[in-house]
A and B are shown apart, each in its own frame.
Chain A
Amino acid sequence: EVQVLESGGGLEQPGGSLRLSCAASGLTFSVYAMSWVRQAPGKGLEWVSTISGSGATTYYADSVKGRFTISRDNSQNTLYLQMNSLRAEDTARYYCATVPGSYRQFDSWGQGTLVTVSS
Chain B
Amino acid sequence: EIVMTQSPATLSVSPGERATLSCRASQSVYSNLAWYQQKPGQAPRLLIYGASTRATGIPVRFSGSGSGTEFTLTISSLQSEDSAVYYCQQYNDWPRTFGQGTKVEIK
Complex CA gap A40/B50 in Å reads 27
Do residues A45 and B44 form an inter-chain contact, with CB atoms below 8 A?
yes
Contacts of A35 in B (CB 8 A): 96
Complex CA gap A61/B97 in Å reads 10
Q: Of B97, B98, B100, which is in contact with the most chain A CB atoms at under 10 Å from its CB?
A: B98
State which of B43, B46, B50, B100 has its C-beta within 8 Å of the C-beta of A44: B100
> Looking at chain A's contact residues, is the secondary structure mostly helix, strand, loop, or mixed?
loop
Contacts of B96 in A (CB 8 A): 35, 47, 50
A105–chain B nearest beta-carbon distance, Å: 4
Contacts of A108 in B (CB 8 A): 46
Q: Does A80 contact B (CB under 8 A)?
A: no
Q: Which of A18-26, A70-78, A109-117 contacts B (4 or more CB under 8 A)?
A: A109-117
State which of B45, B89, B91, B97 has its C-beta within 8 Å of the C-beta of A109: B45
Contacts of B71 in A (CB 8 A): none
What size tier do the contact residues of chain A reach? 20 to 34
Contacts of A46 in B (CB 8 A): 98
Do residues B32 and A104 form an inter-chain contact, with CB atoms below 8 A?
yes
Complex CA gap A104/B45 in Å reads 15
State which of A44, A47, A106 has its C-beta within 8 Å of the C-beta of B95: A47
Complex CA gap A74/B87 in Å reads 30
Q: Assuming the A-B contacts A45-B44, A95-B43, A110-B43, are A105 and B98 also in contact, with contact meaning beta carbons closer than 8 angstroms in the complex? A: no
State which of A61, A105, A111 has its C-beta within 8 Å of the C-beta of B49: A105
Do residues B94 and A109 form an inter-chain contact, with CB atoms below 8 A?
no
A111–chain B nearest beta-carbon distance, Å: 5
Q: Does B78 contact A (CB under 8 A)?
A: no
Complex CA gap A61/B100 in Å reads 17
Q: Assuming the A-B contacts A45-B98, A47-B96, are A104 and B91 also in contact, with contact meaning beta carbons closer than 8 angstroms in the complex? A: yes
Interface pairs A-B: 5 shortest CB-CB: A105-B34, A47-B96, A105-B49, A109-B43, A45-B98
What is B's interface to A at a CB cutoff of 8 Å? 32, 34, 36, 38, 42-46, 49-50, 55, 87, 89, 91, 94-101
What is A's interface to B at a CB cutoff of 8 Å? 35, 37, 44-47, 50, 59, 61-62, 95, 103-112
